[in-house]
Chains A and B, each alone.
Chain A
């Protein structure tokens, strides 16, 4: 792995280049949702727009993803303190809550179909499927990184090294990002 080019060279940076790169990438992903949000607003202003309330189950999914973020952050604290048991426990919990979020989002889509807003009814519903669907794809990406983190946690002997701390921080940042993103989308779509 050539990752070490930056590891060997740039120890004098305030922020690790990889962390910075992730922040930049998050900004880019945010722009994609900003594009979709503005399309939503432009289309809404054009009329022929079906008004309906978001299904209740989306409230539940919002709580679940918040809890998942909190669990992962707690796991990170425990990792830094060297508390192996709690670190692994809360890592597993964060992952399970992550799966829970995807399941509840799916139930939200089913609830929309049941309340009479399946795909192709009106762009107001279609936008919700598209936006929440693309968000869910990003969460799945986050779940992928959590699974890698979990494999590391259980396959490798427990050790608090700078490399593993960095990797955890990157995972944590992205997981908080998709959490924040959903909160934004939830508020935006509920309005």
Chain B
């Protein structure tokens, strides 16, 4: 498997690695070449970072389809509340209630909440955290820093399997007779802390907590590995300032995750105590069904603090990897060095730092002290500065570039568009005064879906189209890719742009139907439009999934090692990369990652030594 490339033909890169690389005797070692010996160690319990990356990606795609389908069901309810959903009964069973006389099928309201909750949980954690960061950190960190594998391949494998276990538990909760958890993806108490609060608060919430704890274990195992690999396992010559921006983004993402996810565990542990042992960390005086519970003195706001101390960094855990991927893909396909490399790194660091001191902007309307809110308003608005630096640099990278418009670069450009659109509404929502009108409305829904939902998906798509040849040795179909891009960007704006108007008019999120409110009844057509756009966009994602799997076996074969003429190390590995990534020596790095259009050369690989008298940035 490792040595299917004809070893007699050597290109310039191979010769450079032979000359300048260093021999770590990896392939003489017993677990070097003979490492992947059976089906199980190759495809299932693999410790190879590239296979683990594919596992994360395909599991993430599975969850993305489930999460998106859920959103279609509740969009049908919102767009067409008076139409029969009886045709969904074979799938959803008792959650579709049939009217005995008319045969009209309606979605059970409690299941509507379960769908909204699960959609959020699945997309935020399983798709955009594990599917995005898990996939590309695993694939690219060892390849781009010049390492044989992660610092601990064993922990890396466990990281995937804990994610898988979290998925199994969450998936099982979908089939409970009382339904999955239905109190929102943020799991605020008391709905999450009292098993009797709603039908999903019982077994559904228990499985939700268990699943999330497994998930955090997965994130932590992965994060420890990513950080250690970047800091300790870089090849000779790969100084931090020579790292591609992808690696900087994954590295900082892992640090944020490692510092914030444990705090979520603290918050969830206290929930478990309140649920299981009757403590009152989050519960104050509560009546259920006329009965006073014996909980006194707890504070549901305390949970919100702990949750959002993770929750806000979490949105940067989602968006930073996408930013890193976009920076790299834009630079490669614009044939220009990334504009302001150091500014990009410092803005990642600034965003990471600020992400820890803005969490209470999710709680402006929860009764926190308005004077304390001011502090959070200021820091929230300051995030616009590093974000704007990044946007400026992406546009400046494109400016005057010799841009190749292919699926990967189109999705990167789309990312920049979405990040601007969604970022601007963030400045509205960061103001505690404006939040009096906008909080918990569709304005919020539109904001975060554009800026960290769709934008992060675009970063992920850019990464998949760009590194697909590295993963599978084949290309995805370019025509389908472009249809996917143009349909998705138009459709995403069609879904989320109108929601801003709904939100400004005060339409609250998470409501089951609006036609009974006089003030919102004129939005019926708009809701129908959004639903139809959502169905079209979903169909385009199905097209992507078909393209993805078809291309694994039948896509155009990659015939050269470096199809995009990129400078980074992953393109110096053989077409079919085996365990250990490089066949002989490990390449050494001679220059930074963005030598495009330099001294009359289209690109100069990182492994090429500086010429006599050549000036270098890093």
Contact = CB atoms under 8 A, between A and B. Distances in A.
Nearest to A134: B269
Contact of A5 (B31, B261, B265, B277): B31
Interface string B15-56: 000000000111001111001000000000001000000000
Contact of A28 (B32, B147, B223, B225): B223
Contacts of A29: 262
A20 B226 CA distance: 12
Interface in A7-35: 8-10, 13, 15, 17-18, 20-21, 24-25, 27-29, 31-35
Nearest to B299: A46
Contacts of A8: 24-26, 29, 32, 148
Interface stretch (A66-74, A86-94, A120-128, A140-148): A120-128
Nearest to A49: B297
Interface in B141-155: 147-155
A122 to B, nearest CB: 7
A157 to B, nearest CB: 22
A72 to B, nearest CB: 23
B280 A28 contact: no
Interface stretch (B302-310, B445-453, B603-611): B302-310
Contacts of B267: 35, 39
- Determine the interface band of chain A, counting residues with CB < 8 A from chain B: 35 or more
A126 B298 CA distance: 11
A57 interface: no
Contact of B232 (A2, A15, A122): A15
A2 B158 CA distance: 13
Given A28-B259, A122-B297, A1 B154 contact: yes
- Determine the interface band of chain B, counting residues with CB < 8 A from chain A: 35 or more
A43 B231 contact: no
A18 B266 contact: no
B363 to A, nearest CB: 12
Contact of B153 (A5, A15, A25, A126): A5
B152 A18 contact: yes
B220 A28 contact: yes
A100 B224 CA distance: 31
A144 to B, nearest CB: 16
B262 to A, nearest CB: 4
A160 interface: no
Given A13-B232, A27-B259, A39 B151 contact: no
A31 B233 CA distance: 25
Given A2-B47, A6-B152, A17 B233 contact: yes
Contacts of A42: 299, 302, 305
B586 A34 contact: no
B147 A9 contact: yes
Contacts of A126: 273, 279-281
Contacts, number: 139
Nearest to A25: B224
A40 B223 CA distance: 27
Given A6-B233, A25-B220, A43 B266 contact: no
B489 interface: no
B508 interface: no
B269 A130 contact: yes
Nearest to A31: B262
A161 interface: no
Nearest to A36: B266
B278 interface: yes
Contacts of B153: 2-3, 5
A33 B262 CA distance: 8
A2 B35 contact: yes
B196 interface: no
A56 interface: no
A89 B41 CA distance: 41
A124 B220 CA distance: 30
A120 B586 contact: no
A86 B503 CA distance: 72
Contact of B151 (A21, A28, A130, A134): A21
18 contacts: A1-B31, A8-B32, A17-B229, A20-B228, A21-B227, A28-B258, A32-B262, A35-B262, A36-B266, A39-B266, A39-B302, A42-B302, A42-B305, A43-B302, A120-B279, A126-B279, A130-B270, A134-B269
Interface of B: 24-26, 29-32, 35, 47, 147-155, 220, 223-225, 227-229, 231-233, 258-263, 265-267, 269-270, 273, 277-281, 296-299, 302, 305-306, 309, 580, 586
Interface of A: 1-6, 8-10, 13, 15, 17-18, 20-21, 24-25, 27-29, 31-36, 38-39, 42-43, 46, 48, 119-120, 122-123, 126-127, 130, 134
Give me the 4 closest cross-chain CB pairs, A-B, nearest first.
A35-B263, A32-B262, A35-B266, A17-B151
